[in-house]
Amino acid sequence: MSIIFKKLHAIWHHECYHGWGKTNRFFEGWYYKFVSEDQGHAIAIIPGIAMDENGNKQAFIQVLDGKNDKAWYHRFHEAEFSPATKKHSLYIDNNFFSLDKITLNLPSLKGELYFNQPSIWPSSFFSPGIMGPFSFIPFLECYHSILSMDHDLTGELVINNQSISFTGGKGYMEKDWGHSFPEAYIWMQSNHFSQPGISVKASIAIIPWLSSSFIGHIAGILFQGKLYQFTTYNGTRVKKCSVSNSKVEIVMENRKNRLSLWVKRNKVTELAAPISGFMDARIEESMKAEIRVELFDKKIKTITLSDTGFSAGIEVAGKYKMLLKP
């Protein structure tokens, strides 16, 4: 399969590897989040590849233990990074990652988890994934995709010689690729609400555009089997964005609905992040936040959803004051 075909295939299959033919200033990482049934354990696994401006390359697997506020970064030789071409099937050394399974053989983390009944962000020819038509722009700093808003877990992991069951727990998957994370962004996610089947993901970021930039936003609420989308390209506007040390508030509105998010922040853990392709930047993520969600139907003037999500992930990164809107 030619490199051109591989690149075209990846445009409409975001789960696949996008770095074919790349030799420098590029990163790609998949984000797997696992929360046990009792929410006593929350783990994020981030496998990926990084290439700096000089062509130095490394594969990596980053681990975040969200309940114990610890993180590990495992480096691997680039030759140990082995992605498939037509589907997401990735080996890094003897660790395996796909859309329905993960196998880990790390020094302090081993085991196997299976994913059932994924909730996939809808895709079409002209709007492939959460970035919609922006997926076709070839010069963006960072691309983003949701691989599963919510899915069930089976299996167990052995963390520091302690066996932990994730059967009955919940998972979430997304990914990023490009050369750098945005210079300012807010990201949040939870699928642990009082009612099953609810999931929320939202982010706001500075998007470089030619010689200028703009504030882009993407959010989705999965509720009663329906995905409510709030994106830059569907006419959604950010009505409010405020940040303090203890909370974040975001209000988005489009023609049909208004989405309000109130986040209670918690202790964070430092993670490696990409800048000019390599994992030399640092960000902070909490997996112990709470997100209160309110979805308001403007046509019938009714609150259709009001609930609080726990074991929530949140990142407030970079020059976030550029994003604020009172």
Q: How far apart are CA 241 and CA 218, in angstroms?
A: 14
How many angstroms separate the Cα of 219 from the Cα of each of 1, 193, 228, 316? Answer: 35, 17, 8, 16
pLDDT at 326: 87
> Could you tell me if 148 and 173 are in contact, meaning their C-beta atoms sit under 8 angstroms apart?
yes
> Could you tell me if 258 and 298 are in contact, meaning their C-beta atoms sit under 8 angstroms apart?
yes
| CA 232 to the chain's CA centroid | 18
> Could you tell me if 191 and 150 are in contact, meaning their C-beta atoms sit under 8 angstroms apart?
yes
Strand partners, 178: 27, 142
Using DSSP, state whether 10 is helix, strand or coil: helix
Cα-Cα-Cα-Cα dihedral sign, residues 287, 81, 169, 157: negative
Give me the phi and psi of 78, to 5 degrees please.
Answer: -55, -30
Give the pLDDT means over successive 10-residue stretches in the chain (326 positions): 88 96 97 98 98 97 96 97 96 98 97 96 93 94 97 97 97 98 97 96 96 96 96 96 97 98 94 92 95 98 98 96 94
Residue ranges per domain, the chain?
Answer: 3-323
pLDDT at 6: 92
Those residues whose C-beta lies under 8 Å from the C-beta of residue 151, and which sit 6 or more positions away, are 115, 116, 117, 118, 119, 170, 171, 172, 173
Using DSSP, state whether 132 is helix, strand or coil: helix
